[in-house]
Every structure is written in C-alpha cells, then in structure tokens.
Structure 1
C-alpha cells in the first residue's frame, strides 16, 4: 500500500523539480546575455563576460584576421545577431559578442574591419 501512495506524490514532486530546473535555466540565460560588456577602443576590442567565471579579453586590431556576423535559429526568431572576430594564430573565434540587433552587428563588423585595416601597419602587441 505504501508504494502506491508514494506513486501519487511522485508526479507533484517531479513537476516541481522540472519547473525549478526550467526557471534556473531561464535565469542562467538572462544573466549570460546581460553580463556581456564590450568596448571598441582606439587600439583593441575589450570584452568582459561571465556569470560564474569572470573573463576579460583584449584583442588588438593588428591580430584581427576577419569579422563575421552570425544568427542561430533562436537568434533569428528573436531578431538578434552575434559578431564573431577571428584572430591570427587561433583555430576558432577569439571574440563573440551575442545579443546584438542585426543592424548593430553589421555596423560593428564594418567598424572593426576598418580599424583592423588601419592597424595593419602597426606592430602586434
């Protein structure tokens, strides 16, 4: 008899756990996108990000190889884009700036590209 009573409680308990996990996931996503700060400086791109681990990156324009914009399916639905910066000596993207409006991402792409071309004559840091 006790086993049957426990089975009646299990759906309530599992629903509460599932709801709690979904809420925690939503909070994580919101914090993940809100805790991105970037600056386009005179000589480099500065980026701060992180929820649990705080990361600061500085990418000199003389290291920039190319700059892309991308949209995941979720970003497309939400009307957002990501700026992706590739640098010399790396296998993948060194800097990604998510959560941008598509026009803002394209303008930023153009600006970083222009600054990288201007910095071509400078020595790498």
Structure 2
C-alpha cells in the first residue's frame, strides 16, 4: 500500500502544478478572451480526475516482477504493456534509493545498472527496504559467483 500512496502523491503534485498553471493562464487570457471565471480551472480539474484518481491504482496493479536463477523479469504498463528481462550476468551496479516521499511510506527503489547503452538502468519501485536489500544481495552474490 505504500507504493500506491507514493504514486498518488506524485499524481497530486502534477495536478497541483497544472492547477496553478491553469490559474495563471486564465488570468493572462482574461483580458484577451472573454472567458467565464474558473472555466479553465474546471476543465483542468475534470482532466485531472483520471491521473489523480484512476491511474495510480491501475498502474500499481499492472506492475510486477519475478527473479529466477538467471534473469529478472519485470512487467508493467496499463495501455502499453512492457515485459523487461534483465540477464543477471549483465548487471554491473546496484543501488537502493529512497526519496523523502518514499521514505515516509517505508518503500524504496532498487536500481540495477546493466552493461550496454539502451535501457541500461532498470528500476524496481515500491519495495520494502528489507526486500530491496535481499534482492540486491542475491544479485550481487550471483554476479560474484559468475565472476569466479
């Protein structure tokens, strides 16, 4: 539930920015165009309903991962579904990171950096710190084992 709250807060930040931008645009357009007061704000509020109310839950439910002996599989996407396969032998660097919002909800991101240039950074969001560190340690052990 922590990651869903983080996603909702990020959506709220986007909507707040759009609302402020609509207020600024409406005040600038008021002299040039005869708009009823609040019309642009109402339009933005109606458009903001999806990313604020519906999208976070759908995106959260559409995300998942699985790790096996050789690969990390990540599935995500509501409109466009993406299945990413990361060969563990290609992982070069692993980070566990946490922003202030994530920290307040007890979740973090596991970031795997792989060899190559395209999609060389793979992120697993919304993990409990213990889970992220366990995956990090498991991947690191496999990398060290492959190096021997």
TM-score between both structures, scaled by the size of structure 1: 0.75
Task: Indicate yes or no: 2:68 matched with 1:45.
Answer: no
Name the structure with the higher strand share.
1
Task: Indicate yes or no: 2:144 matched with 1:117.
Answer: yes
TM-score between both structures, scaled by the size of structure 2: 0.65
Partner secondary structure for residue 90 of structure 1: coil
Aligned length: 114
Q: Deviations over 1:3-38 (max 9, x none)?
A: xxx73xx43x55543433332112222322332111
Name the structure with the higher helix share.
2
Q: Deviations over 1:64-84 (max 9, x none)?
A: 101111112221222210110
**Unaligned runs of at least 5 residues, structure 1:** 1-5
* Equivalence for 2:46: 20
Question: d(CA) in 2 for partners of 1:92 and 1:58?
Answer: 11
Question: d(CA) in 1 for partners of 2:91 and 2:43?
Answer: 45
**Unaligned runs of at least 5 residues, structure 2:** 1-34
* Equivalence for 2:88: 61
The structure whose Rg is larger is 1
RMSD: 2.3
Q: Match for 1:96 among 112, 116, 123?
A: 123
Question: d(CA) in 1 for partners of 2:97 and 2:57?
Answer: 20
